[in-house]
Structure 1
């Protein structure tokens, strides 16, 4: 399985101490060079900045089709644009991305997209975590992850944790 990730799923999962869910679910993850640079930026004090460069299961690659990246950058940030371009080039099974505009652009070019909520649901279904709710609450409280109340309830219902 080939999986490319944008910055946000790595940042969010690292912030709640569950970055390894990506390895457990997908094995190796590919991140674009731009995403690696965003994560390891000198000003980034997040745990992911220290951890990601040490992980052998996260590989860094650059997109080759720079013209496609530039076209995507007209509406997306650099990391999202390169993640989508690299995903198309590698014919990935899945792109990990949370940002609404980026997800829409990825789906327009035929990519399967999963965000951090989908990752948590998959982790529960694969018995990698006991509950989604505490992790979802941690995302909201620790990193200001925004989720509509309806979607919050829907995610919990999906994994059998309805309130």
Structure 2
């Protein structure tokens, strides 16, 4: 059974740039984003649900240290009790301190390979990097090792 995931804009923008946004649709039952992520990414797909986080105090508090999209996405993940796709290091650290289950874009690509949605991770990582998506060398090496590529 697939899962519902909350997404931040970085993953959406990166996958859209390389024409692989469909991976999210195939990998997850539901992809949910907050309004600020929709605004930041500019991505409107009928299979991506937009939901407003209800805890405005939490959103406000998170905005003191994170950008608006990350703050709303984390608040939404807390509200729904769902895993979240985050790539920004500070946002990931905040989400983990809040006991959220966090995955990054690279981790999601590994999950997609394991699920048979994509054949290889390496070409997509290289394509993301060519399109201004930063992936640190240690992460890239570890991902390729896990993917056996």
TM-score with structure 2 setting the length: 0.94
**Structure number with larger C-alpha Rg:** 1
- Report the counterpart of residue 72 of structure 2 in structure 1: 82
Structure 2, unmatched stretches of 5+, are none
Runs of 4+ in 1 over 6 A off after TM superposition: none
Three-state SS of the structure 2 residue aligned to 1:56 is coil
Three-state SS of the structure 2 residue aligned to 1:131 is coil
- Report the counterpart of residue 32 of structure 2 in structure 1: 30
**Hey, what's the Cα distance between the residues in 1 that align with 2:51 and 2:136?**
34
TM-score with structure 1 setting the length: 0.86
**Hey, what's the Cα distance between the residues in 2 that align with 1:138 and 1:82?**
28
- Within the alignment, does 1:65 sit opposite 2:61 as a pair? no
The C-alpha deviation readout for 1:89-117, integer Å capped at 9, x for no partner, is: 1111x101111111111111111111110
Three-state SS of the structure 2 residue aligned to 1:69 is helix
**Hey, what's the Cα distance between the residues in 2 that align with 1:66 and 1:57?**
25
RMSD (Å), alpha carbons = 1.0
Number of matched residues? 147
Structure-to-structure mapping, 1:6-155, within 5 angstroms: 6-40=8-42, 52-53=43-44, 55-92=45-82, 94-142=83-131, 144-155=132-143
